Structure 1
Amino acid sequence: MRSPLRTRGPLRSPLPAADRALLRDVSLVCLASGVVGVSFGAIAVAGGLPVWVPVVMSLVVYAGSAQFSAVGILLAGGGPVAAAATGLLLNTRTAAFSLAVADVLGERGRLARFVGAHLVTDETVAFALAQRDPARRRAAFWISGLGLYAVWNLCVLGGALAGSTIGDTDAFGLDAAFPAVLVALVLPAVREDARARRAALTGGAVALAVTPFVPAGVPVLLSLAGLLALGRTA
């Protein structure tokens, strides 16, 4: 007589392989996002900003590159107008991202569309567009979007609380985190796209050239002149 355990065959996960792969990938991206979030909160507070500033910014703005740029400008002595303008310009790309995932949110109510629009990021759009089935696209978007939003804000809060105990960020080398993260965000596009590489080099050259002569934060805005090079090649 066979054992009942033998007749059942090998134990299997209740989730299909595709779903397990999605959860695994989302978890890995959440882990990476959490590390960056802790760094953002710690450096912002250690640089002199109140704890509530990076926390509220993360809840309301929720855009890593825009937040790093805005806080970096503030800590460098730039004004709030330059910081806000830079963040807004960096966030304009999400308008195109919203069009790419319009079908994911189009059938939902107003509240769901509002929340979904706030969750649109590079990562959530990438997860959604990687799925062929409409139902799976919606699932991928919401799972990654809610997961990343929760992890990012919790880690920013933890980093901000930890940053209040840090004296001089320069002593720990944390001041290099802002440019390092920004470089990491643009590096994939620069590597793969020659047009993006020309635009980045042009914008960087303009920023370096004007830095000694203009207030902090303005070189970042003027570096957008690199988009002119991108437009000519397009």
Structure 2
Amino acid sequence: MSTASPTAPGPRPTAERRVRTIRRTGLSIGVATGLYGISFGALATASGLDVWQAMVLSAVMFTGGSQFAFIGVVGGGGSALGAALASVLLGIRNTLYGLILAPSLPRGGLRGFARAQLTIDESAALAASGTTTEEKRAGFWAAGVWVYVFWNLFSLVGALAGQFVADPAAWGLDAAAAAAFLALLWPRLRSGEAVAIAVAAALVALVTAPSLPPGLPVLAAAAVAVVAGLLPSRHRPVHGSGPRTGDARGAEEEGPR
């Protein structure tokens, strides 16, 4: 008679359930974010772009804040150069996401190209929620692919509808670009320093808007953040200071910045 105990179930089923949950979350994020593409498509065509131009912009640029910045400057009568610079400044954050996600995601070939295209706020956030490489990859691809699909689908719906909207303000679409920027900014206002930079940038934009061509006030406001980033911060740890290595309580109280 065998006395061997039955084999205990391994951690695999739990890991698989977590991956399935992450993928379902990616789908829900894709639908919710994609619906916002209706505003972009409608604003794009109402600002003077045709349907194909709006869709190429959505498919190739594929970063909401940058897209709204582009059509906001163009629709306001600004130059293409000013629109492009505003878009690039807002898209720089995706490069930082890519650096953070690099150890967990492919770098070369078609998958590497797809990864570069799908590195956005949503895919980076869901990837960061994973605890293993498998979960990080599942979160990145689920959010990135579904947001791309639904964003472009609803952008097309909005672009087609925008051709029949004579006055975007009557539908509240003129406020969509500002709402997009606030949605990007609000979660990052977690410290007094961040709030101070945001207020200073807003004041610079308000002061320069009457005198500068459309698009340039955005660049002037962005310059405030660049200058602030170059200045030493009182919250950054000084070499040799901070909690000692063995002081676990001090490390916990310090927490992430």
TM interval, shorter chain, is 0.7 to 0.9
Structure label with greater radius of gyration = 2
Percentage of matched positions with identical amino acids: 37
Query: Do 1:38 and 1:158's aligned partners in 2 also have CA atoms closer than 8 Å?
Result: yes
Q: 1:193: which partner in 2?
A: 191
Q: After superposition, where does 1:60-99 map in structure 2 within 5 Å?
A: 60-99=60-99
2:118 is equivalent to residue 119 of structure 1: yes
What is the CA–CA distance in structure 2 between the aligned matches of 1:225 and 1:202, rounded to whole Å? 10
The structure with the greater share of residues assigned to helix is 1
What is the CA–CA distance in structure 2 between the aligned matches of 1:168 and 1:118, rounded to whole Å? 33
- Length-normalised TM-score, structure 1: 0.87
2:200 aligned counterpart, secondary structure: helix
What is the CA–CA distance in structure 1 between the aligned matches of 2:150 and 2:15, rounded to whole Å? 23
Query: Do 1:195 and 1:230's aligned partners in 2 also have CA atoms closer than 8 Å?
Result: no
Query: Do 2:19 and 2:135's aligned partners in 1 also have CA atoms closer than 8 Å?
Result: no
Query: Do 2:64 and 2:180's aligned partners in 1 also have CA atoms closer than 8 Å?
Result: no
Query: Do 1:38 and 1:159's aligned partners in 2 also have CA atoms closer than 8 Å?
Result: yes
Q: 1:153: which partner in 2?
A: 152
- Structure 1: runs of 5+ lacking an equivalent: 1-13
- Could you give the per-residue CA deviations for residues 160-212 of structure 1, whole angstroms, max 9, x where no partner exists? 0111111111222221111122112211112x233221111111111111111
Query: Do 2:201 and 2:222's aligned partners in 1 also have CA atoms closer than 8 Å?
Result: yes
Q: 2:247: which partner in 1?
A: none
What is the CA–CA distance in structure 1 between the aligned matches of 2:19 and 2:201, rounded to whole Å? 41
2:36 aligned counterpart, secondary structure: helix
Residue type of the alignment partner of 1:226: V
- Could you give the per-residue CA deviations for residues 13-55 of structure 1, whole angstroms, max 9, x where no partner exists? x995423432342233212211210110011112322111221
Query: Do 1:105 and 1:116's aligned partners in 2 also have CA atoms closer than 8 Å?
Result: yes
1:49 aligned counterpart, secondary structure: coil
What is the CA–CA distance in structure 1 between the aligned matches of 2:26 and 2:135, rounded to whole Å? 14
Query: Do 1:47 and 1:169's aligned partners in 2 also have CA atoms closer than 8 Å?
Result: no
Q: Give aligned pairs, total.
A: 220
Residue type of the alignment partner of 2:98: S
100 and 86 in structure 1: CA distance in 2 versus 1, 3 angstrom threshold: same
What is the CA–CA distance in structure 1 between the aligned matches of 2:57 and 2:76, rounded to whole Å? 18
Q: After superposition, where does 1:121-200 map in structure 2 within 5 Å?
A: 121-190=120-189, 192-200=190-198
231 and 17 in structure 1: CA distance in 2 versus 1, 3 angstrom threshold: same
Query: Do 1:47 and 1:168's aligned partners in 2 also have CA atoms closer than 8 Å?
Result: no
- Could you give the per-residue CA deviations for residues 118-170 of structure 1, whole angstroms, max 9, x where no partner exists? 11011111111211111221122112111111111111111101111111112
Once structures 1 and 2 are overlaid, which stretch shifts more, 19-28 or 163-172?
19-28
What is the CA–CA distance in structure 1 between the aligned matches of 2:137 and 2:16, rounded to whole Å? 17
Query: Do 1:202 and 1:225's aligned partners in 2 also have CA atoms closer than 8 Å?
Result: no
What is the root-mean-square deviation of aligned Cα atoms in Å? 2.0
- The offset of 1:64, in angstroms, is 0.3
Q: After superposition, where does 1:28-67 map in structure 2 within 5 Å?
A: 28-67=28-67
